[in-house]
Amino acid sequence: MEVVIYTTNVCPWCHKAMEFFDENKIKYVEKNVQKNPALAAELLEKSGQMGVPVIEIKDEIIIGFNKERLKKTLNL
Amino acid sequence: MKYDVIIIGGGAAGLGAALYSARYNLKTLIIAKEFGGTGNIAHKVDNWIGEPGISGMDLMNKFTKHVDEYAVTRVESEVSKISKLSDNSFSVKADKTYHGKSIIYALGMKHRKLGILGEKEFVGRGVHYCYTCDGPLYPNKKIAVIGGGDAAGLGSLFLSEYGSQIYTVVRKPTMRAEPITQDQMLENKKIKIMLENEAVEFYGDKLLKGIKLKNGRKLEVDAVFIEIGHIPLSFLAKESNVKINSHGFILVDNTQKTNIKGFCAAGDITTRHTLKQFITSAAEGSVAAESIYNFIKNNKW
């Protein structure tokens, strides 16, 4: 299951989410919008907003770090 | 299994209480939805003595690791109910029901919203509540910060690293942020402090375009960060008949005891200190642990 996370450098909830993926051995692709501002349009198009973290799992878009929802979506 | 103490909340107060409870050899359980709590959000903490410039998340991770060196049971879950039982002990409902002889309530506070027109409509599309998360998404843009306290001051400084112009919109005639923060803001050429200005509406189309002010003027900005303080999360304590004041803060004595036997409160949520900081929260947590230790040893409240 491909997991993509949109982040910025010091976003605390982005780091919490990535720690959560690491702890649960979930592979993910980080798309850092701060390092690559061109990703901002993609972030807005996919989630309808500009806040991070945004997590994409298959076709599901999760705005913010919602551990319970992640566990459910990832069958943990 | 009955714990000596159940600590509710995993911020500086809760983790401080857990450390001291463990060192008093109390059988300790700490339950938190997210360890670190709102302390995680601070991008830079310059007033925790001994750790200048540490990030809130790194500091809270250190707190948690320190607690993990002791025989403390740590559960990540959201508490939905606290009940006092007929034998004067407590049951706490979270991912399951736990039993304890006493409670330290340290749930802290949540972000206060402005409640003005357009706020909900533009959340995430120009209206934001976490400047460390979303500030860098507005490079070379005009950004407003609403609020006059420490978070608004520190937020303005943080955002000045990214935005072209920062407007700090303060309702009152003065700011409440620490004087050193205010000095740094005044020295910062990108920051304009707008005292006695009140936001009444956010406007835009797909994305935010600006703020309407009470004086009729418009402030054109691409993003606004709301930092107008916090609301105490005292509702679970209130349901257990713990006395709170008219602003929702829990009334405690100088040993963190509430009006309910075996029930202490600590941290931002109490009336003890107006200075709401890591250091005051951790201190209140440690004092609460001592009070619970004395209560369990002597059965006196």
Q: Check if the beta carbon of residue B7 is closer than 8 Å to that of residue B28.
A: yes
Kindly identify which residue of chain B lies nearest to residue A51, measuring between CA atoms.
B124
Evaluate if residue A1 carries a pLDDT over 80. no
CB-based contact (8 Å) between B28 and chain A?
A: no
A35, A50, A69: best mutation site toward chain B, by most B Cβ within 10 Å? Answer: A50
Whether residues B200 and B168 share a domain: the answer is yes
**Beta carbons of A12 and B56 less than 8 Å apart:** yes
CB-based contact (8 Å) between B76 and chain A?
A: yes
Domain boundary at B164, B194, B226, which?
B226
**Domain assignment of residue B253, yes or no:** yes
pLDDT score for B129: 92
pLDDT score for B43: 80
Q: Check if the beta carbon of residue B129 is closer than 8 Å to that of residue B58.
A: no
Summarize pLDDT for A45-65 with one digit per residue, the tens: 999 999 999 999 988 999 999
Determine if the pTM surpasses 0.90.
no
Alpha helices for A10-76 (secondary structure H): 12-23, 39-47, 67-73
Task: Give me the amino acid identity at B191.
Answer: I
Give the domain range for residue B160. 127-226
Which portions of chain B are predicted below pLDDT 50? none
Whether residues B106 and B234 share a domain: the answer is yes
CA-CA distance, B213 to B146, in Å (whole number)?
11
**Domain assignment of residue B121, yes or no:** no
pLDDT band at A2 (very low <50, low <70, confident <90, very high): confident
Over pLDDT 70: what percentage of chain B? 100
**Domain assignment of residue B150, yes or no:** yes
Whether residues B166 and B240 share a domain: the answer is no
pLDDT score for B38: 86
Superfamily of segment(s) A3-73: Glutaredoxin (3.40.30.10)
Whether residues B31 and B67 share a domain: the answer is yes
Q: Check if the beta carbon of residue B231 is closer than 8 Å to that of residue B224.
A: no
The Cα of A10 is separated from the nearest Cα of chain B by a number of Å equal to: 6
- Residue B125: which of A10, A50, A67 has the nearest Cβ? A50
ipTM above 0.95, yes or no: no
How much is the mean pLDDT over chain B?
A: 96
**Domain assignment of residue B31, yes or no:** yes
The domain that holds B170 is classified in CATH as 3.50.50.60
